Amino acid sequence: MPEMTPDALRAFCDRPPQIVAPELIGATLMLAGAGGMIVETEAYASGDPASHSFSGQTSRNAAMFGRPASAYVYLSYGIHWCFNIVCQPGSAVLVRALESLTGFDEMAARRGVSDPRKLCSGPGKLCQALGIDISHNGLDLDGGVLRLMPGEGGFQLLCGRRIGITRAVEREWRFGLAGSPFLSRRFPATARQTPG
């Protein structure tokens, strides 16, 4: 597949997040020479009680209402940055885990670990590894600083309940690459999704 143009990337993201999230498994996310393959995502939809956008636009979540294929970054628990890919207005996909591909030494240094399984196996961890912070909030993902490159698809995926939320927990909007050792947590063996 030829690399997507910025317009194609925007169109790819300008759909409901629960559709985009599974298709992002296998995509590549890069920031300044560091990055890897997305192996775990979660969808947060418009009108979703678990989404930051549920009660309307605020200063924190404003980026969720920006351009599709831009970044929504927020601080979690006062400590960790979390990175989302903006989809349709008021919706986004949280990137929860990466399998590192390039820039390993740099990421390991920022994380203070050497075990590749501990490098990007969580939304806060991958932001620390790549150096993502609030300065990246709202940036387009088409290559200026951050680059998102959707993959070929065709992976065997797992899906299940989202992690760490208290509302709308029944929605199975967490997606992961089956068998990957780089997930933030194992999936309970629930639903299985075949290549698309």
Query: Residues interacting with DNA, by CB under 7 A?
Result: 42, 44, 50-53, 55, 58-61, 64, 72, 75-80, 82, 84, 92, 94, 111, 113, 118, 122-126, 162-167, 184
Please report how close the Cβ of residue 180 comes to DNA at its closest, in angstroms.
15
Tokens, residue 91:
């919706």
Please report how close the Cβ of residue 195 comes to DNA at its closest, in angstroms.
26
Of the two residues 8 and 108, which places its CB atom closer to DNA in the complex? 108
Of the two residues 55 and 194, which places its CB atom closer to DNA in the complex? 55
3-state secondary structure 102-155: ECHHHHHHHHCCCCHHHCCCCHHHHHHHHCCCHHHCCCECECCCEEEECCCCCC
Please report how close the Cβ of residue 196 comes to DNA at its closest, in angstroms.
23
**Residue 35 to residues 13, 16, 97, 102, 175, Cα–Cα distance (Å):** 20, 25, 11, 6, 19
Please report how close the Cβ of residue 29 comes to DNA at its closest, in angstroms.
15
